[in-house]
Structure 1
């Protein structure tokens, strides 16, 4: 597999540029492996990293960008394992947020808080979760073990919100206040 590798160094002050570079690398799905950032080769990713390397130099840093392949199968496996672990970490956090969403729905049902504002609030929260999922999937470079369970949990969130919305609808119509 062909990869793009970026090695860079930057002055410690101001730290905002180092943070900006790190955020851009993470947003792209790059993984830090043995102090070198790596991402599977793709034309759009290469353009993004070329811009970042240019920015790093503008910020008085040094950047070295290259394209290549690990020389051994073992190194390739270790690089893929690092990428998988990075993706798994993100899916794990997303899984946690989805579980919290389900707990929130359960709590609203227990409190019989059947008002439209709660439906709307939870719709917005689920939309945020799905937007985050889209970002995670876009930058995930290989299969993450937690991907499947996270996707299933988000499907459960969809179902829970649908059921809760129906309960609110039924409650408001029973009261004649819909």
Structure 2
């Protein structure tokens, strides 16, 4: 059986200005890499990830840092499994944060219904929030290379908020249709 390829990135940046360290950290997190040790980041190998890491390495080097990119495989499955469990933990944390925001969104819709705030402006605001939540999920799912356990819960919660928004939208329509008659 052929082993999975990984990209490992190690880097070092001067402590000041801190914005370069923060920028590197944010770029790596956004890409979905996991921090295994101090400045050692790991990502499953594919051309897109490699290209993105090359850009991050270039940015680091342009800011007086050093970066190393390595193409690697794990000697033992237990080590690879440990890294995959890190990916799961990071993605699950992201999914859980999204789920928490979805719960807040549902409470917001319930509040609007209870106070009968059936305005088109409010509907647009709620639709914008729904769009943000759906886009957030897409970003997490794109980084979720190994199917984190919380992904199913996040999908279920998204279905719930879509349904709740549709119901609110119907109420707004019904309320505004009565007024125009």
TM over 0.5: yes
1:9/1:62 contact within 8 Å kept: yes
- What is the CA distance between 1:176 and its match in structure 2? 2.1
Residue in structure 1 matching 2:36, options 30, 33, 36: 33
Alignment TM-score, normalising by the size of structure 1: 0.96
- For residues 2 and 142 of structure 1, the distance between their equivalents in structure 2, rounded to whole angstroms, comes to 14
Partner of 1:9: 12
Asked whether the 8 Å contact 1:84–1:141 carries over to 2, the reply is: no
- Please give the per-residue CA displacement for 1:113-136, whole angstroms capped at 9, x wherever unaligned: 111111110000000111111111
For residue 116 of structure 2, give the secondary structure of its aligned residue in structure 1: coil
Task: For structure 2, list consecutive stretches of 5 or more residues without a partner in the other structure.
Answer: none
Correspondence 1:117 to 2:121:
yes
User: In the alignment, does 2:76 pair up with 1:72?
Assistant: yes
> Which runs of structure 2 are paired with 1:1-178 in the superposition (5 Å)?
1-35=4-38, 36-176=40-180
Q: Contact between 1:12 and 1:18, CA under 8 Å: does it hold in 2?
A: yes
CA distance in 2, matches of 1:166, 1:121: 15
Structure 2 CA distance, aligned partners of 1:172 and 1:64?
61
How many Å apart are 1:70 and its aligned residue? 1.5
Report the secondary structure of 2:145's partner residue.
coil
How large is the RMSD of aligned CA atoms in angstroms? 1.0
Residue 40 of structure 1: how far off its partner (Å): 0.2
Segments of 5+ residues of structure 1 without an aligned counterpart are none
**CA shift for structure 1 position 175:** 2.1
Runs of 4+ in 1 over 4 A off after TM superposition: none
Shift of 1:34: 2.3
